[in-house]
Amino acid sequence: MYRVKEAFYTLQGEGAQAGRAAVFCRFSKCNLWTGREKDRTNAVCNFCDTDFVGTDGQNGGQFETPEALAEHIRRLWPNAQGRPYVVCTGGEPLLQLDAPLIDAFHAAGFEVGVETNGTLPAPAGIDWLCVSPKADARVVIEACDELKLVYPQPLAMPDQFGHIRASHYFLSPMASPALPEQGPDPVKQSNTQKATEYCLAHPQWRLTLQMHKIIGID
């Protein structure tokens, strides 16, 4: 059984695939936070900007088989040109995404992207893997397509992740957790300045911004 909080067609807002149309499949549950505000301060990951509790969001639900979920996601891809792309996120998608579901997405014609905190092993067959380390949670994934570090995190600074092989290294300024974003976010503005300074001083790191919040698409 797969539990999905919500699913929607949008543009990938972050990282090297930013601007690419994708169906986002947001799985329920995370291993680093319950998702309840009362638990946030004591969570390993305490800055999450996402509601991933339950299955009650837009196009959310429970799916008995990999084929049923792949078909559900396929219906959200408009009859358009271009390679269908699904981004599995959450919550923590690697609590649920397994090889049969990746196979079912491929069989439905999708390339499969994943956004993960990197603390769980990734099944084979993922086409684009983004690892975003959190605080002192040990990263077990050794290689990925992009490492996208939310910045700044006192327990997860960029120089700690040189051993993780990636084709791209991004810093993403930490935004305030409030959802949806209501007006200017001074915390994000200040973190954007800090991330900018870090990238200027360490050019192996690139800046990525949450484009979807800037243009207000989801």
Ligand X SMILES: C[S@@+](CC[C@H](N)C(=O)[O-])C[C@H]1O[C@@H](n2cnc3c(N)ncnc32)[C@H](O)[C@@H]1O
Ligand Y SMILES: Nc1nc2[nH]cc(C(=O)O)c2c(=O)[nH]1
Shorter beta-carbon distance to ligand Y: residue 28 or 89: 89
Q: Tell me the C-alpha distance between 106 and 112, whole Å.
A: 7
Q: Give the footprint of ligand Y on residues 84-123 (CB under 6 A).
A: 89, 115
Q: Tell me the C-alpha distance between 189 and 176, whole Å.
A: 10
17 binds, among ligand SF4, ligand X, ligand Y, none (CB under 5 to 8 A by kind): none
Check 6, 14, 92, 115 and give the catalytic one. Answer: 115
DSSP state of 218: -
Q: Give the footprint of ligand X on residues 13-42 (CB under 6 A).
A: 30
Bridge-based pairing of strands 165-173 and 143-151 is parallel
Active site residue 45: yes
Active site residue 127: no
Three-class secondary structure of residue 66 per DSSP: helix
141 binds, among ligand Y, ligand X, ligand SF4, none (CB under 5 to 8 A by kind): none
Q: Give the footprint of ligand SF4 on residues 103-162 (CB under 6 A).
A: 117, 134
Q: Tell me the C-alpha distance between 86 and 70, whole Å.
A: 10
Binding piece for ligand Y, criterion CB under 6 A, among 8-16, 33-41, 152-160, 180-188: 8-16
Active site residue 49: yes
The sign of the torsion formed by the CA atoms of 143, 50, 57, 120 equals: positive
Which residue type is seen at 187? Answer: V
Binding piece for ligand Y, criterion CB under 6 A, among 10-18, 57-65, 118-126, 158-166: 10-18
**Contacting residue, 16, 30, 70, 102, with ligand SF4 by CB under 6 A:** 30
Q: Give the footprint of ligand X on residues 120-159 (CB under 6 A).
A: 132, 148, 150
Three-class secondary structure of residue 186 per DSSP: helix
Active site residue 48: yes
Q: Tell me the C-alpha distance between 35 and 159, whole Å.
A: 29
Active site residue 110: no
Does 13 show up as a binding residue in the annotation?
yes
For residue 57, the minimal CB distance to ligand Y (Å) is: 11
| Nearest C-alpha neighbor of 47 from the set 209, 206, 156, 207 | 156
Tallying the residues shown for the chain, one arrives at: 218
For tokens 């409030």, the residue is 178
Bridge-based pairing of strands 2-11 and 61-63 is antiparallel
Does 47 show up as a binding residue in the annotation?
yes
Which residue type is seen at 16? Answer: A
Q: Which residues are annotated as a binding site?
A: 11-13, 26, 30, 45, 47-50, 89, 91, 132-134
Residues in contact with ligand X by CB under 6 A are: 30, 47-50, 89-90, 92, 115-117, 132, 148, 150, 172, 174-175, 177
Residues that are catalytic: 24, 30, 45, 48-50, 115, 212
